[in-house]
Structure 1
Amino acid sequence: MNEESTTIQEFIVHLIELRTRVIRAVAAVFVVFVALLPFANKLYTWLAYPLLSKMPIGGHMIATEVTTPFFVPMKVAGLVAFLLALPYVLAQIWGFVAPGLYDHEKRMALPLIISSTLLFYVGMAFAYFAVFPFAFGFFANTAPQGVEMMTDIDKYLSFVISMFLAFGLAFETPVAVVLLVKLGILNVPQLRAARRYVVVSAFVVGAIFTPPDAVSQTLLAIPLWLLYELGILVASRVAPKEEEAEPLKLPNPES
């Protein structure tokens, strides 16, 4: 058997393994989704609680399309199913990728995958339990006199998903900081020198991705800053000991 035939055979083996792991991951999500279908309406009610609890007495949500009351809870069940099955999906991805990595790459990649997943969950939980009550309270109290707040359930779901993504990705800050250091793009002194710019940027991000009230903006900006500090702390422990590069030269705002 020549070298070319061996390469083709190995490629086919990898494709078969990839197909197997994709099927397993999709099947896991599907099984969890089917198990959650009887609770789809309850899941949407739970998801909508932060808004419903801030509406005036007698307030309610509406559906502007005929099929919306059926499909929106199904979407929520699908989203929850994916989040619950995500550890297994990531395990399948890791099982496919890990054999091609060196030992030192495995030691770096696995903790990053686990920590990034947990941080994304924490970011979503923070949005639901800490940010949504303030944000929806703000919206409910700013309606003009004579205007009744009745949000479409599909639009509410889109808003919630975008907020979950924003906070989930924001909570990945420590992972991003550690990766920048491990890849040699930045070093710890440079990250410390950029601290004041990060604080300003955190409040800018908070103003973009949250409702236009100071409390909601601060609820995103402060965790972003603290997570950046956590990233610096972790990076200082995992960075090579010989790394003592010069701090990042940033412009002096006073000049």
Structure 2
Amino acid sequence: MADSSPPPQPETPAAANGSDTFMSHLLELRNRVLWSLLAVLFVTGGLLVWPGMGAVYDFLAEPMISTLPAGTKMIATSVISPFLTPLKVTLLAGFMLALPVVLYQAWRFVAPGLYQHEKMIALPILVSATVLFYLGVAFCYFLIFKQFFVFIAKMAPQSITAAPDIEAYLDFVMSMFIAFGLAFEVPVVVIVLVLLGITTVAKLREIRGYVVIGITVIAAVVTPPDVFSQIALGLPMWLLYELGILVAVLLERQRPAAVSE
């Protein structure tokens, strides 16, 4: 019996072009991811050579060590944690230092699909978000930790000998870095919401009281249960919120001129 099914149709140029475009995007994404991984591995390898992962962890632990009694050190409760924990810290430090390269590769992948006016907005926002995240981490390490661990040492009973575990300390530090890094992104979030038309400066000013309450709740949840840490996170978030409103006002004033052009 003869096959009555229609013969296969040749691939149309549009379908072939769509397939080629999809594959080219996948190849481009692969290349960008590879360059990002190479940057992180290169920086991490450099840190392992100099100053070494032990020195990297010592730098991270310095705010805590400086408040411990003389001769006291951190402890390791796991067999491999004296090696594994400093290695994790070095990997994280490598990623942080290579973050501009990672974000640049992400930008190179996304930028061809954006309009010119979108590029003019997206690139400054990306750079600002990166800088603000670094500032949040630096603010936490150089200012907050110095005061926080001194406060904890003063409040600790005399009957307690402080001997922090290195893994617990790493978890605490990373959570605080993320909290402060994200908290410093408040101006970027405010500006993006205004630029996208989701809200207005007038609305942001109107809900200022609710925002302050929300900031207080967030600071109470993500920081240790002491007033100093909550104020240290909540106050910068509120000031950055006001900064975001100020920048959004300037952008709204420039928008009519940009539209008329």
Same fold flag (TM > 0.5): yes
1:138 aligns with 2:151: yes
Contact 1:174 1:227 in 2 (8 A): yes
Secondary structure of 1:25's aligned partner: helix
Matched residue pairs, number?
Answer: 243
Residues 178 and 234, structure 1, Cα contact 8 Å, conserved in 2:
yes
Shift of 1:135: 1.7
Say which SS state the counterpart of residue 149 (structure 1) adopts. coil
Of 68, 74, 80 in structure 1, the residue corresponding to residue 87 of structure 2 is 74
CA distance in 1, matches of 2:148, 2:254: 44
Cα deviation code 1:106-164 (max 9, x no counterpart): 11110110000000000000000111122212222233332111011011001100000
2:24 match: 13
Please state if 1:201 is matched with 2:214: yes
**Cα 1:145–1:190 shift into 2, 3 Å:** same
User: Counterparts of 2:78 and 2:40 in 1: how far apart (Å)?
Assistant: 27
Aligned residue number for residue 247 of structure 1: none
Give the aligned partner of residue 9 of structure 2: none
Please say which structure displays the higher CA radius of gyration. 2
**Superimposed CA distance per residue, residues 184-219 of structure 1 (whole angstroms, 9 cap, x where no aligned partner):** 111000111112222232222222222333222211
2: CA distance, partners of 1:134 / 1:90: 32
Question: Separation in 2 of the partners of 1:180 and 1:17?
Answer: 30
1:60 alignment partner, SS class:
coil
**Displacement of 1:97:** 0.5
Separation in 2 of the partners of 1:192 and 1:241?
19
Establish whether residue 155 from structure 1 lines up as the match of residue 147 from structure 2. no
SS of the aligned residue for 1:175 comes to: helix
**163-172 or 27-36, which moves further after superposition?**
27-36
Find the counterpart in structure 2 of residue 127 from structure 1.
Answer: 140
- Counterpart pick for 1:182 among 192, 195, 198: 195
Counterparts of 2:65 and 2:125, CA distance in 1: 37
- Give the distance between the partners of 1:205 and 1:137, measured in 2 at CA: 23
Matches within 5 A, 1:1-255: 2-38=13-49, 39-239=52-252
Deviates more, 1:191-200 or 1:81-90: 191-200
- In the aligned structure 2, how far is the partner of 1:135 from the partner of 1:206? 15
Residue 61 of structure 1 contacts residue 151 of structure 1 at CA under 8 Å; is this kept in 2? yes
Opposite residue 133 of structure 2, the aligned amino acid is: F
Q: Please give the TM-score of this superposition, normalised by the length of structure 2.
A: 0.89
Q: CA RMSD in A?
A: 1.5
Provide the rounded CA distance (Å) in 2 between the counterparts of 1:206 and 1:242.
34
Which SS does the other structure have where 2:238 is aligned?
helix
- Structure 1 residue runs without a partner (length 5+): 244-255
Ranges in structure 2 where 5+ consecutive residues have no aligned partner: 1-11, 257-261
Question: What is the Cα deviation at residue 59 of structure 1?
Answer: 1.9
- 1:34 partner letter: G
The structural deviation recorded for 1:176 is 0.3
Partners of 1:150 and 1:186 lie apart in 2 by: 49
Question: TM-score, normalized by length of structure 1?
Answer: 0.91
Percent of matched pairs sharing the same residue: 50
